[in-house]
Structure 1
Amino acid sequence: MAAAHQVPVLLCFIIIMTIMLQASADDDEEWKSATATYTKQRDASISTEGACGYGDIHRASYGEYSAGLSTMLFNKGSRCGACFQLRCVDHILWCLQGSPSVVLTATDFCPPNYGLSSDYGGWCNFPNHHFEMSEAAFAQIALPKADIVPVQYRRVECQRKGGVRFTVSGNLHFYQVLVTNVGLDGEVVAVKVKGSRTGWIPMARNWGQLWQSNINLSGQPLSFEVTTSSRRTVTSYNVAPPNWQFGQTFQGKQL
């Protein structure tokens, strides 16, 4: 009889856990409030430089659908590469009809301007949630003549073509790698490198998604281990040949 009573109890426990897990997943997908503007300078940092280290974001595969994040969202550069879905809301004059959404990649930092109030020019002042979008991306959700629009945003998985990319730079005493084209959550939190004559070497974040090490790795095939904010790890073995050169880009596995 005791065993018979255990079945409904176990079933109830499974149902409760399922509901809790579903509620947690729903919370992660909730829309949050923010504001958005766009840069009108086609060759400005949003396209060619930026605080994430990507350089020309078109070559980094992020193209025009990119954004600079305010301090609150940028998180000291760890959010570089993360993807956000945005839609313009609650502005009948500027928002496009139906509130279409656009998916952006975080590629830059929108610095605060404490000389201006946070509701008039100081859009990126702490603790505002603000996106400085590319002009092309902004035009997907609002009229370009708008100054600033209210938006809703949420994190979404990044859809990338091909594998994670590793661009090496530096010199014999300072080795650096730029990690781009990262799928899923897109937010890299740890990188390790391995040569044929070394074990796995943890790399330190230099800035954005540039990671560094002071180990001389010349003349060795290189392997990389990348971990994202969701604690997913992908290991790419021997992606760079022994005769690799600084300035080259190599492609590994995708998450």
Structure 2
Amino acid sequence: MDALRAAVFFLVLLISCEINGAEDEEWKTATATYSKETDGSIITEGACGYGDLHKISYGKYSAGLSTILFNRGSTCGACYEVRCVDHILWCLQGSPSIILTATDFCPPNNGLAADYGGWCNFPKEHFEMSEAAFAEIAERRADIVPVQYRRVKCERSGGLRFNLQGDSRFFQVLIANVGLDGEVVAVKVKGSKTGWIPMGRNWGQNWQCNVNLKGQPISFEVTASSGRTLASYNVAPPNWQFGQTFEGKQF
């Protein structure tokens, strides 16, 4: 009985560490600006390929990341807690924080200085936010503000979303609404007539393989950067069509 209690205690401790680990990250320094949109939000498709960000619930809390943070799209879907610091004129009182999802790439502008327009130049760590989100941590009049950030767990409603694209020889899936650390590092797909097929990253969180899965129910195996793997079986029915989105399990 004592051995059983010890095993249960260890399991609870392990789960607690997995849940809280991302939020225990130390704060790091960066800068932030905002892009002006007609409704105060980033709504157009970014470099991660998510499309209309309001439809997939990221909305105004989306962010473009500088080269070093974007890491060639591998951090698409990752969540960051960001707060304005060390500027008495521009930072809101109390330094409130917000949670942002990485959805886009902020390209460098090497013709401008890093502190005047070249905010996303390598190796600067920078967040380009929506105007509405920026206004929750700093004065809108500010062009650029110093911030602190850290990776945190992504809180998502519903399951992982799989948007299917391609043709009879090329299969691609866009994976969104990923919980846990939000960052997908490996994907496998399976039809009823195949085994598990590894997929390669096309760009952002679009994953691809050369296989014809028409007429087969489709399952996915997704691995997050934490190392956890989640399998969603028969996500799409045999009569699925390209362009459709299906929902699977959640981390």
Shared fold per TM-score greater than 0.5: yes
Counterpart of 2:14 in structure 1 is none
Amino acid at match of 1:148: I
CA-based RMSD of the aligned residues comes to 1.8
Could you say if the C-alpha distance between residues 73 and 30 of structure 1 is closer, same or farther in structure 2, counting changes exceeding 3 Å?
same
Partner of 1:201: 197
Taking the aligned partners of 2:37 and 2:248, their CA distance within structure 1 comes to 34
Q: Structure 1 vs Structure 2: percent identity of aligned residues? A: 75
Secondary structure of the 2:186 match is strand
C-alpha displacement at 1:27, in angstroms?
9.7
Whether 1:165 aligns to 2:161 is yes
Equivalent residue in structure 2 for 1:55, among 51, 55, 71: 51
Task: Provide TM-score, normalisation by structure 2.
Answer: 0.89
**Which SS does the other structure have where 2:50 is aligned?**
coil
The 3 A distance-change label for structure 1 pair 102 and 225 is same
| Structure 1 match to 2:220 | 224
Q: Deviations over 1:166-192 (max 9, x none)?
A: 000111111110000000100000110
Q: TM-score, normalised by structure 1?
A: 0.88
Give the corresponding residue for 2:12: none
Q: How many corresponding residue pairs?
A: 233
**Counterpart amino acid of 2:136?**
Q
1:72 partner SS: helix
Q: Is the 1:39–1:133 Cα contact (8 Å) retained in structure 2?
A: yes
Do structure 1's residue 76 and structure 2's residue 75 form an aligned pair?
no
1:88 aligns with 2:84: yes
Deviations 1:112-162 (A, max 9, x none): 000001111100000000000011110110011110000000000000000
Aligned counterparts of 1:75 and 1:44: Cα–Cα separation in 2: 27
Does the 8 Å CA contact 2:41/2:60 hold for their aligned counterparts? no
1:234 aligns with 2:235: no
Partner of 1:152: 148
Shift of 1:56: 0.6
1:112 paired with 2:118, answer no
Question: Helix, strand or coil for the counterpart of 2:32?
Answer: strand
The 3 A distance-change label for structure 1 pair 102 and 70 is same
After superposition, the C-alpha distances for 1:37-57 in whole angstroms (9 at most, x for unaligned) are 000124899421100010111
**Which residue type is aligned with residue 106 of structure 2?**
C
* Alpha-carbon distance change, 26 to 84 in structure 1, aligned in 2, over 3 angstroms: closer
Q: What CA distance in whole angstroms lies between the structure 2 residues aligned with 1:209 and 1:74?
A: 12
Q: Which letter maps to 1:97?
A: Q
* Change beyond 3 A, Cα 1:27–1:212: closer
Please say if residues 45 and 108 of structure 1, whose CA atoms lie closer than 8 Å, have aligned partners that are also in contact. Answer: no
Unaligned runs of 5+ in 2: 1-16
